[in-house]
Chain A
Protein backbone atom coordinates (compact mmCIF):
# COMPACT_ATOMS: atom_id res chain seq x y z
CA UNK A 1 0.00 0.00 0.00
CA UNK A 2 2.79 2.40 1.05
CA UNK A 3 4.79 1.48 -2.07
CA UNK A 4 1.81 2.22 -4.30
CA UNK A 5 1.32 5.59 -2.57
CA UNK A 6 5.01 6.44 -3.06
CA UNK A 7 4.79 5.51 -6.76
CA UNK A 8 1.73 7.73 -7.10
CA UNK A 9 3.53 10.65 -5.47
CA UNK A 10 6.53 10.15 -7.78
CA UNK A 11 4.22 10.18 -10.81
CA UNK A 12 2.57 13.41 -9.60
CA UNK A 13 6.02 14.94 -9.01
CA UNK A 14 7.16 13.96 -12.50
CA UNK A 15 3.99 15.42 -14.00
CA UNK A 16 4.47 18.68 -12.10
CA UNK A 17 8.13 18.92 -13.18
CA UNK A 18 7.23 18.70 -16.87
CA UNK A 19 3.97 20.67 -16.58
CA UNK A 20 5.34 23.62 -14.61
CA UNK A 21 8.48 23.79 -16.73
CA UNK A 22 6.27 23.86 -19.82
CA UNK A 23 4.15 26.62 -18.32
CA UNK A 24 7.25 28.65 -17.46
CA UNK A 25 8.73 28.36 -20.92
CA UNK A 26 5.34 29.20 -22.43
CA UNK A 27 5.27 32.45 -20.46
CA UNK A 28 8.86 33.20 -21.47
CA UNK A 29 8.14 32.47 -25.13
CA UNK A 30 5.09 34.73 -25.21
CA UNK A 31 7.05 37.98 -25.48
CA UNK A 32 9.94 36.50 -27.45
CA UNK A 33 7.54 35.05 -30.00
CA UNK A 34 5.65 38.33 -30.31
CA UNK A 35 8.90 40.24 -30.77
CA UNK A 36 10.11 37.68 -33.30
CA UNK A 37 6.95 38.03 -35.37
CA UNK A 38 7.26 41.84 -35.20
CA UNK A 39 10.85 41.73 -36.42
CA UNK A 40 10.09 39.19 -39.19
CA UNK A 41 7.16 41.33 -40.41
CA UNK A 42 9.58 44.14 -41.19
CA UNK A 43 12.56 42.02 -42.21
CA UNK A 44 11.87 38.41 -43.29
CA UNK A 45 15.59 37.64 -43.40
CA UNK A 46 15.56 37.63 -39.58
CA UNK A 47 13.46 34.44 -39.57
CA UNK A 48 16.35 32.07 -38.68
CA UNK A 49 17.66 34.13 -35.80
CA UNK A 50 14.18 34.93 -34.52
CA UNK A 51 13.35 31.21 -34.54
CA UNK A 52 16.42 30.37 -32.44
CA UNK A 53 15.54 33.01 -29.84
CA UNK A 54 11.93 31.86 -29.76
CA UNK A 55 12.80 28.23 -28.98
CA UNK A 56 15.54 29.02 -26.43
CA UNK A 57 13.14 28.81 -23.44
CA UNK A 58 12.25 25.26 -24.58
CA UNK A 59 15.46 24.17 -22.86
CA UNK A 60 13.72 24.75 -19.54
CA UNK A 61 11.23 22.01 -20.44
CA UNK A 62 14.14 19.64 -21.08
CA UNK A 63 15.32 20.26 -17.50
CA UNK A 64 11.79 19.42 -16.30
CA UNK A 65 11.76 16.32 -18.46
CA UNK A 66 15.13 15.14 -17.09
CA UNK A 67 13.87 15.58 -13.53
CA UNK A 68 10.69 13.69 -14.41
CA UNK A 69 12.66 10.79 -15.95
CA UNK A 70 14.97 10.72 -12.94
CA UNK A 71 11.99 10.71 -10.61
CA UNK A 72 10.35 7.78 -12.38
CA UNK A 73 13.34 5.60 -13.22
CA UNK A 74 15.98 6.43 -10.61
CA UNK A 75 14.01 6.99 -7.41
Chain B
Protein backbone atom coordinates (compact mmCIF):
# COMPACT_ATOMS: atom_id res chain seq x y z
CA UNK B 1 0.00 0.00 0.00
CA UNK B 2 2.75 2.44 0.93
CA UNK B 3 5.87 2.60 -1.17
CA UNK B 4 8.31 5.34 -0.14
CA UNK B 5 11.88 4.50 0.66
CA UNK B 6 14.48 6.24 2.83
CA UNK B 7 14.27 7.14 6.47
CA UNK B 8 12.40 10.44 6.34
CA UNK B 9 12.93 14.06 7.41
CA UNK B 10 12.27 13.62 11.12
CA UNK B 11 14.19 16.69 12.36
CA UNK B 12 12.43 18.99 9.92
CA UNK B 13 8.96 17.60 10.62
CA UNK B 14 9.40 17.48 14.40
CA UNK B 15 10.44 21.13 14.54
CA UNK B 16 7.69 22.12 12.15
CA UNK B 17 4.90 20.41 14.06
CA UNK B 18 6.21 21.80 17.35
CA UNK B 19 6.04 25.31 15.87
CA UNK B 20 2.48 24.53 14.72
CA UNK B 21 1.67 23.16 18.17
CA UNK B 22 2.72 26.42 19.81
CA UNK B 23 0.04 28.22 17.78
CA UNK B 24 -2.84 26.03 19.01
CA UNK B 25 -5.45 27.52 21.33
CA UNK B 26 -4.66 27.50 25.05
CA UNK B 27 -6.90 26.91 28.05
CA UNK B 28 -7.45 30.64 28.57
CA UNK B 29 -8.63 30.96 24.97
CA UNK B 30 -11.40 28.41 25.60
CA UNK B 31 -12.34 30.27 28.79
CA UNK B 32 -12.63 33.46 26.73
CA UNK B 33 -14.70 31.66 24.08
CA UNK B 34 -17.14 30.47 26.74
CA UNK B 35 -18.09 34.13 27.32
CA UNK B 36 -18.78 34.78 23.63
CA UNK B 37 -21.68 34.39 21.22
CA UNK B 38 -21.35 32.26 18.04
CA UNK B 39 -20.45 35.25 15.77
CA UNK B 40 -17.88 36.37 18.35
CA UNK B 41 -16.40 32.86 18.47
CA UNK B 42 -16.20 32.89 14.66
CA UNK B 43 -14.36 36.21 14.79
CA UNK B 44 -12.06 34.96 17.54
CA UNK B 45 -11.02 31.79 15.71
CA UNK B 46 -10.55 33.82 12.50
CA UNK B 47 -7.81 35.65 14.32
CA UNK B 48 -6.41 32.41 15.72
CA UNK B 49 -5.44 30.85 12.40
CA UNK B 50 -8.76 29.97 10.75
CA UNK B 51 -9.16 33.23 8.80
CA UNK B 52 -8.56 31.85 5.31
CA UNK B 53 -11.19 29.12 5.64
CA UNK B 54 -13.67 31.46 7.35
CA UNK B 55 -13.28 34.03 4.55
CA UNK B 56 -13.46 31.44 1.76
CA UNK B 57 -16.60 29.81 3.13
CA UNK B 58 -18.39 32.94 4.36
CA UNK B 59 -19.98 33.37 0.92
CA UNK B 60 -21.81 30.04 1.09
CA UNK B 61 -22.34 29.50 4.82
CA UNK B 62 -22.98 31.44 7.98
CA UNK B 63 -23.32 31.00 11.75
CA UNK B 64 -22.48 27.67 13.29
CA UNK B 65 -22.49 25.94 9.89
CA UNK B 66 -19.67 28.22 8.71
CA UNK B 67 -17.73 27.48 11.86
CA UNK B 68 -18.13 23.72 11.41
CA UNK B 69 -17.03 23.72 7.79
CA UNK B 70 -14.13 26.10 8.44
CA UNK B 71 -12.71 24.15 11.39
CA UNK B 72 -12.76 20.80 9.58
CA UNK B 73 -11.42 22.35 6.39
CA UNK B 74 -8.56 23.95 8.30
CA UNK B 75 -7.77 20.65 10.01
CA UNK B 76 -7.78 18.78 6.67
CA UNK B 77 -5.44 21.37 5.19
CA UNK B 78 -3.03 21.16 8.10
CA UNK B 79 -2.93 17.36 7.93
CA UNK B 80 -2.46 17.34 4.18
CA UNK B 81 0.34 19.91 4.40
CA UNK B 82 2.10 17.67 6.94
CA UNK B 83 1.72 14.70 4.63
CA UNK B 84 3.08 16.68 1.68
CA UNK B 85 6.08 17.94 3.67
CA UNK B 86 7.06 14.52 5.02
CA UNK B 87 9.15 12.11 3.01
CA UNK B 88 10.46 8.54 3.11
CA UNK B 89 9.05 6.11 5.64
CA UNK B 90 7.85 9.05 7.75
CA UNK B 91 5.43 9.92 4.94
CA UNK B 92 4.24 6.29 4.86
CA UNK B 93 3.53 6.35 8.57
CA UNK B 94 1.72 9.69 8.46
CA UNK B 95 -0.33 8.42 5.50
CA UNK B 96 -1.16 5.22 7.39
CA UNK B 97 -2.24 7.21 10.44
CA UNK B 98 -4.36 9.54 8.33
CA UNK B 99 -6.31 6.67 6.79
CA UNK B 100 -8.21 6.99 10.09
CA UNK B 101 -10.20 9.74 8.40
CA UNK B 102 -11.26 7.45 5.54
CA UNK B 103 -12.82 5.15 8.09
CA UNK B 104 -14.28 8.01 10.13
CA UNK B 105 -15.77 9.54 6.97
CA UNK B 106 -17.30 6.19 6.05
CA UNK B 107 -18.91 6.02 9.49
CA UNK B 108 -20.30 9.56 9.04
CA UNK B 109 -21.81 8.59 5.68
CA UNK B 110 -23.28 5.31 6.98
CA UNK B 111 -24.79 6.99 10.05
CA UNK B 112 -26.13 9.83 7.93
CA UNK B 113 -27.76 7.44 5.50
CA UNK B 114 -29.16 5.33 8.32
CA UNK B 115 -30.76 8.33 10.00
CA UNK B 116 -31.85 9.96 6.72
CA UNK B 117 -29.65 13.07 6.99
CA UNK B 118 -29.28 15.38 4.01
CA UNK B 119 -26.09 15.30 1.92
CA UNK B 120 -25.27 18.77 3.20
CA UNK B 121 -25.49 17.63 6.83
CA UNK B 122 -23.20 14.69 6.15
CA UNK B 123 -20.73 16.84 4.20
CA UNK B 124 -20.35 19.10 7.26
CA UNK B 125 -18.77 16.28 9.22
CA UNK B 126 -16.39 14.95 6.58
CA UNK B 127 -12.66 15.48 7.01
CA UNK B 128 -10.81 15.19 3.73
CA UNK B 129 -7.47 14.17 5.18
CA UNK B 130 -7.20 10.47 4.40
CA UNK B 131 -6.41 8.65 1.18
CA UNK B 132 -9.93 9.26 -0.21
CA UNK B 133 -10.17 12.47 -2.19
CA UNK B 134 -13.16 14.81 -2.48
CA UNK B 135 -14.52 12.99 -5.56
CA UNK B 136 -14.35 9.62 -3.80
CA UNK B 137 -16.24 11.02 -0.82
CA UNK B 138 -18.87 12.53 -3.12
CA UNK B 139 -19.37 9.07 -4.63
CA UNK B 140 -19.78 7.65 -1.12
CA UNK B 141 -22.28 10.37 -0.25
CA UNK B 142 -24.33 9.84 -3.37
CA UNK B 143 -24.48 6.03 -3.00
CA UNK B 144 -28.18 5.12 -2.84
CA UNK B 145 -27.81 2.59 -0.04
CA UNK B 146 -25.46 1.56 2.75
CA UNK B 147 -24.51 -1.63 0.89
CA UNK B 148 -23.49 0.39 -2.16
CA UNK B 149 -21.53 2.87 -0.04
CA UNK B 150 -19.65 -0.09 1.46
CA UNK B 151 -19.00 -1.50 -2.03
CA UNK B 152 -17.55 1.85 -3.18
CA UNK B 153 -15.40 2.02 -0.06
CA UNK B 154 -14.15 -1.50 -0.71
CA UNK B 155 -13.17 -0.62 -4.26
CA UNK B 156 -11.13 2.34 -2.99
CA UNK B 157 -9.52 0.99 0.17
CA UNK B 158 -9.90 -2.78 0.02
CA UNK B 159 -11.83 -2.97 3.30
CA UNK B 160 -14.75 -5.36 3.08
CA UNK B 161 -17.47 -5.76 5.65
CA UNK B 162 -18.71 -9.30 6.27
CA UNK B 163 -22.07 -10.45 4.90
CA UNK B 164 -23.06 -11.31 8.46
CA UNK B 165 -22.67 -7.69 9.58
CA UNK B 166 -24.69 -6.44 6.62
CA UNK B 167 -27.39 -9.07 7.33
CA UNK B 168 -27.50 -7.95 10.98
CA UNK B 169 -27.92 -4.36 9.83
CA UNK B 170 -30.73 -5.27 7.44
CA UNK B 171 -32.58 -7.06 10.25
CA UNK B 172 -32.52 -4.35 12.92
CA UNK B 173 -31.18 -1.24 11.10
CA UNK B 174 -28.44 -0.84 13.71
CA UNK B 175 -24.94 -0.14 12.43
CA UNK B 176 -23.00 -1.45 15.45
CA UNK B 177 -21.61 -4.58 13.76
CA UNK B 178 -20.65 -2.78 10.56
CA UNK B 179 -18.98 0.07 12.50
CA UNK B 180 -17.19 -2.44 14.66
CA UNK B 181 -15.73 -4.17 11.59
CA UNK B 182 -14.73 -0.79 10.14
CA UNK B 183 -12.86 0.11 13.35
CA UNK B 184 -11.09 -3.25 13.40
CA UNK B 185 -10.33 -2.83 9.69
CA UNK B 186 -8.61 0.50 10.35
CA UNK B 187 -6.30 -0.86 13.04
CA UNK B 188 -5.51 -3.99 11.00
CA UNK B 189 -4.79 -1.83 7.98
CA UNK B 190 -2.37 0.40 9.91
CA UNK B 191 -0.54 -2.49 11.59
CA UNK B 192 -0.25 -4.38 8.28
CA UNK B 193 1.06 -1.39 6.37
CA UNK B 194 3.88 -0.59 8.84
CA UNK B 195 6.60 -3.22 8.88
CA UNK B 196 8.07 -2.51 12.34
CA UNK B 197 11.39 -3.92 11.08
CA UNK B 198 13.49 -0.86 11.88
CA UNK B 199 13.53 1.38 14.92
CA UNK B 200 11.40 4.23 13.54
CA UNK B 201 8.57 2.07 12.25
CA UNK B 202 8.74 -0.09 15.36
CA UNK B 203 8.10 2.96 17.61
CA UNK B 204 5.00 3.79 15.57
CA UNK B 205 3.82 0.19 15.52
CA UNK B 206 4.15 -0.10 19.29
CA UNK B 207 2.36 3.21 19.75
CA UNK B 208 -0.55 1.99 17.61
CA UNK B 209 -0.64 -1.22 19.66
CA UNK B 210 -0.97 0.85 22.85
CA UNK B 211 -3.78 2.81 21.20
CA UNK B 212 -5.56 -0.49 20.49
CA UNK B 213 -5.14 -1.47 24.16
CA UNK B 214 -6.70 1.83 25.23
CA UNK B 215 -9.56 1.33 22.80
CA UNK B 216 -10.21 -2.13 24.23
CA UNK B 217 -10.14 -0.81 27.81
CA UNK B 218 -12.57 1.92 26.75
CA UNK B 219 -14.90 -0.75 25.34
CA UNK B 220 -14.73 -2.76 28.58
CA UNK B 221 -15.53 0.34 30.63
CA UNK B 222 -18.43 1.33 28.39
CA UNK B 223 -19.85 -2.18 28.62
CA UNK B 224 -19.48 -2.22 32.40
CA UNK B 225 -21.27 1.14 32.61
CA UNK B 226 -24.12 -0.31 30.60
CA UNK B 227 -24.02 -3.60 32.55
CA UNK B 228 -23.41 -5.65 29.41
CA UNK B 229 -21.99 -9.13 30.00
CA UNK B 230 -18.82 -10.84 28.84
CA UNK B 231 -20.22 -12.88 25.93
CA UNK B 232 -21.53 -9.88 24.03
CA UNK B 233 -18.32 -8.00 24.81
CA UNK B 234 -16.17 -10.57 22.98
CA UNK B 235 -17.37 -9.28 19.58
CA UNK B 236 -15.96 -5.83 20.24
CA UNK B 237 -12.38 -6.93 20.98
CA UNK B 238 -9.86 -5.32 18.62
CA UNK B 239 -6.94 -7.72 18.05
CA UNK B 240 -3.32 -6.56 17.77
CA UNK B 241 -2.92 -4.76 21.14
CA UNK B 242 0.35 -4.52 23.06
CA UNK B 243 -0.48 -5.94 26.49
CA UNK B 244 -4.20 -6.53 26.49
CA UNK B 245 -4.74 -9.91 24.84
CA UNK B 246 -8.06 -11.61 24.22
CA UNK B 247 -7.83 -13.66 27.43
CA UNK B 248 -7.34 -10.63 29.74
CA UNK B 249 -10.03 -8.78 27.80
CA UNK B 250 -12.52 -11.63 28.26
CA UNK B 251 -11.73 -11.88 31.99
CA UNK B 252 -12.16 -8.12 32.49
CA UNK B 253 -15.36 -8.04 30.43
CA UNK B 254 -16.79 -10.96 32.41
CA UNK B 255 -16.07 -9.28 35.77
CA UNK B 256 -19.25 -8.33 37.64
CA UNK B 257 -18.28 -4.75 38.52
CA UNK B 258 -16.07 -1.97 37.18
CA UNK B 259 -13.65 -2.44 40.09
CA UNK B 260 -13.34 -6.16 39.45
CA UNK B 261 -12.77 -5.44 35.76
CA UNK B 262 -9.93 -3.07 36.64
CA UNK B 263 -8.31 -5.68 38.86
CA UNK B 264 -7.94 -7.85 35.77
CA UNK B 265 -6.05 -5.05 34.02
CA UNK B 266 -3.33 -4.69 36.68
CA UNK B 267 -0.66 -6.18 34.43
CA UNK B 268 -0.92 -3.24 32.04
CA UNK B 269 1.79 -0.54 32.10
CA UNK B 270 -0.73 2.29 32.07
CA UNK B 271 -2.89 0.73 34.79
CA UNK B 272 -2.38 3.64 37.24
CA UNK B 273 -3.53 6.26 34.71
CA UNK B 274 -6.54 4.14 33.80
CA UNK B 275 -7.50 3.37 37.39
CA UNK B 276 -8.33 7.05 37.94
CA UNK B 277 -10.95 6.78 35.22
CA UNK B 278 -12.90 3.99 36.90
CA UNK B 279 -15.01 6.57 38.76
CA UNK B 280 -16.04 8.46 35.60
CA UNK B 281 -19.81 8.96 35.85
CA UNK B 282 -20.88 9.09 32.19
CA UNK B 283 -19.82 7.48 28.92
CA UNK B 284 -19.32 10.82 27.16
CA UNK B 285 -16.93 11.98 29.88
CA UNK B 286 -15.17 8.64 29.72
CA UNK B 287 -14.58 9.01 25.98
CA UNK B 288 -13.13 12.49 26.54
CA UNK B 289 -10.95 11.30 29.41
CA UNK B 290 -9.64 8.40 27.33
CA UNK B 291 -8.72 10.91 24.61
CA UNK B 292 -6.71 12.73 27.26
CA UNK B 293 -4.92 9.53 28.32
CA UNK B 294 -4.19 8.78 24.67
CA UNK B 295 -2.73 12.27 24.21
CA UNK B 296 -0.66 12.08 27.41
CA UNK B 297 0.71 8.71 26.32
CA UNK B 298 1.63 10.10 22.89
CA UNK B 299 3.33 13.13 24.51
CA UNK B 300 5.39 10.81 26.74
CA UNK B 301 6.47 8.68 23.76
CA UNK B 302 7.27 11.86 21.77
CA UNK B 303 9.58 13.01 24.57
CA UNK B 304 11.37 9.68 24.51
CA UNK B 305 11.69 9.62 20.72
CA UNK B 306 11.75 13.22 19.45
CA UNK B 307 13.03 12.14 16.04
CA UNK B 308 10.16 9.82 15.21
CA UNK B 309 6.64 10.00 13.80
CA UNK B 310 5.14 10.40 17.29
CA UNK B 311 5.61 14.21 17.62
CA UNK B 312 3.68 14.48 14.34
CA UNK B 313 0.96 12.19 15.73
CA UNK B 314 0.84 14.30 18.93
CA UNK B 315 0.25 17.44 16.88
CA UNK B 316 -2.49 15.73 14.87
CA UNK B 317 -4.23 14.57 18.06
CA UNK B 318 -3.94 18.06 19.57
CA UNK B 319 -5.27 19.72 16.43
CA UNK B 320 -8.21 17.33 16.35
CA UNK B 321 -8.79 18.08 20.02
CA UNK B 322 -8.75 21.84 19.34
CA UNK B 323 -11.30 21.54 16.53
CA UNK B 324 -13.56 19.34 18.66
CA UNK B 325 -13.38 21.85 21.51
CA UNK B 326 -14.18 24.84 19.29
CA UNK B 327 -17.17 22.96 17.90
CA UNK B 328 -18.29 21.89 21.38
CA UNK B 329 -18.14 25.46 22.70
CA UNK B 330 -19.94 26.84 19.64
CA UNK B 331 -22.67 24.19 19.82
CA UNK B 332 -23.04 24.67 23.58
CA UNK B 333 -23.35 28.44 23.23
CA UNK B 334 -25.70 28.07 20.26
CA UNK B 335 -28.03 25.74 22.15
CA UNK B 336 -28.00 27.95 25.27
CA UNK B 337 -26.10 25.62 27.63
CA UNK B 338 -24.63 27.28 30.70
CA UNK B 339 -20.87 27.85 30.85
CA UNK B 340 -20.10 25.24 33.49
CA UNK B 341 -21.86 22.49 31.55
CA UNK B 342 -19.91 23.38 28.39
CA UNK B 343 -16.65 23.51 30.35
CA UNK B 344 -17.33 20.05 31.75
CA UNK B 345 -17.66 18.77 28.19
CA UNK B 346 -14.26 20.18 27.27
CA UNK B 347 -12.05 18.33 29.81
CA UNK B 348 -9.34 21.01 29.56
Give B13-64 interface residues, CB cut-off 8 Å to A: 13-16, 18-20, 22-23
Contact of A42 among B9, B10, B11, B16 (CB under 8 A): B16
Looking at the assembled complex, report how far the CB atom of A70 sits from the nearest CB atom of chain B, in whole angstroms.
Answer: 34
Name the segment of A6-14, A16-24, A33-41 touching the other chain. A33-41
- Cβ–Cβ contact B14 & A38, under 8 A: yes
Q: Chain B, interface size: which category?
A: 10 to 19
Looking at the assembled complex, report how far the CB atom of B314 sits from the nearest CB atom of chain A, in whole angstroms.
Answer: 15
Looking at the assembled complex, report how far the CB atom of A52 sits from the nearest CB atom of chain B, in whole angstroms.
Answer: 14
- Residues from chain A with Cβ under 8 Å of B16 in the complex: 38-39, 41-42
- Cβ–Cβ contact B11 & A32, under 8 A: yes
Q: What's the Cα separation between A34 and B23 when bound, in Å?
A: 20
Whether B12 is near chain A, meaning CB under 8 Å from some CB there, is yes
Q: What's the Cα separation between A37 and B16 when bound, in Å?
A: 8
Looking at the assembled complex, report how far the CB atom of A46 sits from the nearest CB atom of chain B, in whole angstroms.
Answer: 7
Closest B residue to A36 by CB, please name it. Answer: B15
Q: What's the Cα separation between A42 and B315 when bound, in Å?
A: 14
Whether B307 is near chain A, meaning CB under 8 Å from some CB there, is yes
- Cβ–Cβ contact B19 & A46, under 8 A: yes
Chain B 200-214: CB-based contact to A (< 8 A → 1; otherwise 0): 000000000000000
Closest B residue to A35 by CB, please name it. Answer: B15
Closest B residue to A31 by CB, please name it. Answer: B11
Give the A-B pair count, Cβ closer than 8 A.
Answer: 37
- Cβ–Cβ contact A38 & B13, under 8 A: yes
- Cβ–Cβ contact B12 & A43, under 8 A: no
Q: What's the Cα separation between A38 and B23 when bound, in Å?
A: 14
Closest A residue to B18 by CB, please name it. Answer: A39
Contact of A39 among B10, B19, B307 (CB under 8 A): B19
Closest B residue to A46 by CB, please name it. Answer: B19
Q: What's the Cα separation between A31 and B10 when bound, in Å?
A: 8
- Residues from chain A with Cβ under 8 Å of B18 in the complex: 39
- Cβ–Cβ contact A35 & B12, under 8 A: yes
- Residues from chain A with Cβ under 8 Å of B10 in the complex: 31
- Cβ–Cβ contact B12 & A37, under 8 A: yes
Looking at the assembled complex, report how far the CB atom of A49 sits from the nearest CB atom of chain B, in whole angstroms.
Answer: 12
- Residues from chain B with Cβ under 8 Å of A36 in the complex: 15
Q: What's the Cα separation between A38 and B20 when bound, in Å?
A: 10
- Residues from chain A with Cβ under 8 Å of B11 in the complex: 30-32, 34-35, 38
- Residues from chain A with Cβ under 8 Å of B14 in the complex: 35, 38
Q: What's the Cα separation between A30 and B9 when bound, in Å?
A: 10
Looking at the assembled complex, report how far the CB atom of B85 sits from the nearest CB atom of chain A, in whole angstroms.
Answer: 8
Q: What's the Cα separation between A35 and B11 when bound, in Å?
A: 5
- Residues from chain A with Cβ under 8 Å of B307 in the complex: 31
- Residues from chain A with Cβ under 8 Å of B23 in the complex: 42-43
Q: What's the Cα separation between A41 and B14 when bound, in Å?
A: 12
Chain A 41-65: CB-based contact to B (< 8 A → 1; otherwise 0): 1110010000000000000000000
Q: What's the Cα separation between A30 and B7 when bound, in Å?
A: 14
Closest A residue to B19 by CB, please name it. Answer: A42
Closest A residue to B16 by CB, please name it. Answer: A38
- Residues from chain A with Cβ under 8 Å of B15 in the complex: 34-39
- Cβ–Cβ contact B22 & A34, under 8 A: no
Looking at the assembled complex, report how far the CB atom of A45 sits from the nearest CB atom of chain B, in whole angstroms.
Answer: 10
Q: What's the Cα separation between A5 and B4 when bound, in Å?
A: 52
List 6 A-B residue pairs with CB atoms under 8 Å apart, sorted by A's residue number.
A31-B10, A31-B307, A34-B11, A38-B11, A38-B14, A43-B22
- A-to-B contact residues, CB < 8 Å: 30-32, 34-39, 41-43, 46
A31-B10, A38-B11, A38-B16 are known; give 12 further A-B pairs, CB within 8 A.
A32-B11, A34-B12, A34-B15, A36-B15, A38-B13, A38-B14, A38-B15, A38-B19, A39-B15, A42-B19, A42-B20, A43-B22
